[in-house]
Amino acid sequence: MGTTRLQGRYFSIASMIVGLMIVIGVSLIADTMVSAGEPDQSLKEAADGLKSNAEEMVAHGGMGDAKAIIHHCAETTRYAELLMKQLSTSHSGREEGVASLADVIKHCKRVAEIGIHADPGVLLNPAIKARTAARASVKALGFSK
């Protein structure tokens, strides 16, 4: 009778340990899955930032605000570079998206070279080209709504 009682205790302790190990394993797997989803979320946020700054850049061009065009163009470039760094090599549409992001950077660099003292209409042409490239990159990378 005493032996049966001890075996029962060992069995219940062993089953508790196994249960605890399963709970820890499942929580680690869930945590890993959440972490794996974070880069996609940060890529989505960067794509949203790219698109919204490109839109703002052209909108300010229509209002004749050269300083705002240059500011939003710098932000657009920052988001484009961030996307290029964070994209995995296996991301669908990567080649086309990176080519479009390079165009965004090229056109925004042209806006910066023209400078703040230029007529906003002169800045608007490369700004529109940068916006078009930003839209194409967001679409190619699959982040469009």
Residue 102 forms part of a structural domain: yes
DSSP states of 12-59: HHHHHHHHHHHHHHHHHHHHHHHHHHHHHHHHHHHHHHHHHHHHHHHH
pTM beyond cutoff 0.75: no
Q: What percent of the chain shows pLDDT beyond 90?
A: 48
Residue 103 forms part of a structural domain: yes
- Residues 65-98 pLDDT 10s: 889 999 999 999 999 999 999 888 888 888 999 9
Write down the pLDDT at residue 3.
Answer: 54
Residue 81 forms part of a structural domain: yes
- Residues 106-129 pLDDT 10s: 999 999 999 988 888 899 999 999
Which residues span the domain enclosing 58?
39-140
- Number of domains into which the chain is organized: 1
Residue 87 forms part of a structural domain: yes
CA-nearest of 126, 48, 136 to 93 is 136
Higher confidence at residue 73 or residue 18? 73
Write down the pLDDT at residue 36.
Answer: 46
Residue 13 forms part of a structural domain: no
Q: What CATH number does residue 128 fall under?
A: 1.20.120.660
